[in-house]
Structure 1
C-alpha cells in the first residue's frame, strides 16, 4: 500500500492522479496532509501541487468525459467528505483505463458515489443561492454570513455576480473562514478578521438596515397563509440549521 499525502487543494488531487500513473501505482490511498497518520503497513509519499501536471490531467479528462462529469468531480471535491479524494482518484483512474467513458456506469460504486455526492453539493448550492440575506454596511458593501454544509462558495459566485452586478458584495463562510468578494468587476476570495456575530453591528451596518430587515420580515408574515401551513414540508425546503441567517426568521 502506498499513501500519497497532498496539500488538500484541487490541484493536489489531480497531481496525485498524475503520480499514480507516472509511477504505475496500484494499491494506493490518498490523504490530506492534515489528516495523515503514519501507518506501519504502508509507504508514505508526499505529492506536491504542480499546476503543469494538474492541467495535463485535466486536459486528458476533457478528451474522455463530458463537461458535466468534470464538473461533478470538482463538486465532489468541494463536499469535503471523508475519503472523497480516493473516490475522485478512483473515478479518474477508471476514465483513463477504460475504453469508454465510465460516467454512466452507475453499477460501479465509485461512479455511483460521485453522482450521489454531486447531487448533494448542488442541492446545497441552490439553497445558498436562495437563503443568502445581505445587510448593507456603512461603507456601501452588502454583506452576508453563511455556514453551508459543503464548500459551495466557488459554485455560487457566478450566480451572485450576474444577479447583483451593480453592487459591491461579500458572502462570508464562517465555518471555513473565507469569503467571495465582488468589487463591481471581478469576484475574488478573501479572508477577514472579526467575521463572526460577536461584532458590534451598530458600528458596521447602516442605521436604517434594521428597518429594512423589519419590513422584509413583515412582508413574509403577510404573504403567509396560516391555514395552508405545512411545517413538515417547510422544514424539508428550509432546514432549521439555516434559520439563524434568515432575516424573516429572526425578527
Structure 2
C-alpha cells in the first residue's frame, strides 16, 4: 500500500493530488500525519507542499469539474474527519473523469463521503454565525472564543469582517489555537499569543450584563422547552455563551 503524507495544509493536499498524476506512483491513501503503527509492507511518501502545483490543481478542479466541486473539496477538507483526505482524492479522480456531473453520482462512496463532510462543515458554520459571542477586553479589543467541532474559522471570519468592519476583533478557536485577527484593514489567520488568551479573562463589557438580563427577561417559564433549545443551541457550545455562564 502506498501512502502519501502531507503537512495538513490545503495547498499540501492539492500538491498530493498533483503528485498522484505526475509522481512516481499514485497513492492508496493520503494522510496528514504518520501513524505510529505503520505496516512494514506500506510504502510511505512525504509530499512537499508546492504552491504552484497546488494552484494548477485548484484551477483544474474549477475548470474541468465545477466551482461546486471545488467548494465541496475545501469544506470537506476543513472537516478533518478520519480518511477524508483519501476520499477527497478519490472524489477528484472520479470528478476529472465525469466532469460537472460528478455530484450526481450519490451512490458513489467517495462522492457521498465528501458531500456528507462538506455539509457538516457548512451546517456548523451557519450555526456559529448566531452563537458566537464577542467580549470587550480592557484594551477595547473584541474577543470571541469558541471550540467548534470542525475547522470553520476561515469560513465564518468573512461574515464578521463585513458585519464588524469598524472594530478590532479576534475570533479564537481554542480547540486548535487558531485565531482570525482583524485590524479594520485585513483579517489574518494565525496562532494566538498566550498573553492574549489570559487577557481574555479580564473583560470590560457592560453589554454582557445587559445581554444576560435580556435573556432572563424574555424567558417564559411555562413555555421552556429544553429539547428544542438544545436542538437550536447544542449544549457542546454553551461553554462560551455569555447568557449560559
TM-score by length of 2: 0.93
Map residues 1-251 of structure 1 onto 2, 5 A cutoff: 1-23=1-23, 25-26=25-26, 28-35=28-35, 37-98=37-98, 101-191=101-191, 192-194=193-195, 196=197, 201-202=201-202, 205-206=203-204, 209=205, 211-250=206-245
Once residues 236 and 99 of structure 1 are traced to their aligned partners in structure 2, the CA distance between those partners, rounded to angstroms, is 38
Count of residues in Structure 1 that have an aligned counterpart in Structure 2: 244
Shift of 1:233: 1.1
Shift of 1:101: 3.3
TM-score by length of 1: 0.91
Cα distance change on mapping 1:230 and 1:15 into 2, 3 Å:
same
Question: Please, what is the CA RMSD of the aligned residues?
Answer: 1.8
Once residues 227 and 64 of structure 2 are traced to their aligned partners in structure 1, the CA distance between those partners, rounded to angstroms, is 44
Once residues 83 and 124 of structure 1 are traced to their aligned partners in structure 2, the CA distance between those partners, rounded to angstroms, is 20
Does the 8 A contact of 1:91 with 1:111 survive in 2?
Answer: yes
Find the residue that maps to 1:39 and give its secondary structure.
coil
Task: For residues 119-145 of structure 1, give each alpha carbon's deviation from its aligned partner in whole angstroms, at most 9, with x where no partner exists.
Answer: 111111112211111111122110111
Find the residue that maps to 1:233 and give its secondary structure.
helix
Shift of 1:66: 2.5
Cα distance change on mapping 1:195 and 1:139 into 2, 3 Å:
closer
Does the 8 A contact of 2:78 with 2:151 survive in 1?
Answer: yes
Cα distance change on mapping 1:51 and 1:189 into 2, 3 Å:
same
Does the 8 A contact of 2:64 with 2:99 survive in 1?
Answer: no
Once residues 99 and 79 of structure 1 are traced to their aligned partners in structure 2, the CA distance between those partners, rounded to angstroms, is 24
Once residues 220 and 119 of structure 2 are traced to their aligned partners in structure 1, the CA distance between those partners, rounded to angstroms, is 32
Unaligned runs of 5+ in 1: none
Unaligned runs of 5+ in 2: none
Does the 8 A contact of 2:20 with 2:27 survive in 1?
Answer: no
Structure ranking higher in helix proportion: 2
Find the residue that maps to 1:103 and give its secondary structure.
helix
